[in-house]
Amino acid sequence: MLRINMEKHIFLCRHGQTEWNRDKKLQGQLDSPLTEKGRAQAAELAAKAGNWDIDLVVSSHLGRAKDTAAICATSLGQSHKVYEGFCERNFGEWQGKETSGLAAYQAFKEHRYTRPDLMPDNGGESANMVTERFMTTFHSLVNSETASRILIVSHGDAMACIARSFGEGRTIDNCGGMLLGWQNGKLHWQQWID
């Protein structure tokens, strides 16, 4: 296993808009395709990432993240690798349903970050579980790749769990994100990416 102690810059960004984003359905670990707007957002992200000196593009295994990452990787002339651990939070039985009709989800949503051990009562993941999964995947990524400037395309709620672990909270728009640093085995906050 390759171990590099140099600092790595991680540009963690959300995928482009999907049909279910547009229709206000909770995706979780289910999938729906990018809309035309989502593909345009991915192209805009790729153009922005052209200024970041990216040397590796990574995504979760879910189609919306893979498709966004593929658009970015092609534009940047970089390879694209998949790490399943960067997937969205599992919302259990709520996945695929319109959020407006889910009273239990609305109650969960109000406390999902302030109580990171709170789990959906239908088989999903807590914020702590998502953060632990992401941290394990970050460790795997940085210990196996020599790249120092990495674009990771992931998912809004999972990314919000990571941001809140740094005391940062806000809604993450499609193709928005955050810049994180990795040095000496630790992930640290740098800034939001708009």
Catalytic residue list: 15, 88
Residue count of the chain, please give it. Answer: 194
Distances from the Cα of 46 to the Cα of 8, 52, 112, 175, angstroms: 19, 10, 31, 10
Determine how many CB atoms are found less than 10 A away from the CB of residue 15: 29
- At 42, phi and psi to the nearest 5? -65, -40
Contacts of 78 (CB under 8 A, 6+ apart): 54, 55, 56, 57, 72
**Exposed / middle / buried, residue 128 (Cβ in 10 Å: 0-12, 13-18, 19+):** middle
Contact between 172 and 113 (Cβ < 8 Å)? no
Residue linked to tokens 């957002």: 41
**How far apart (Å, rounded) are the C-alpha atoms in residues 46 and 175?**
10
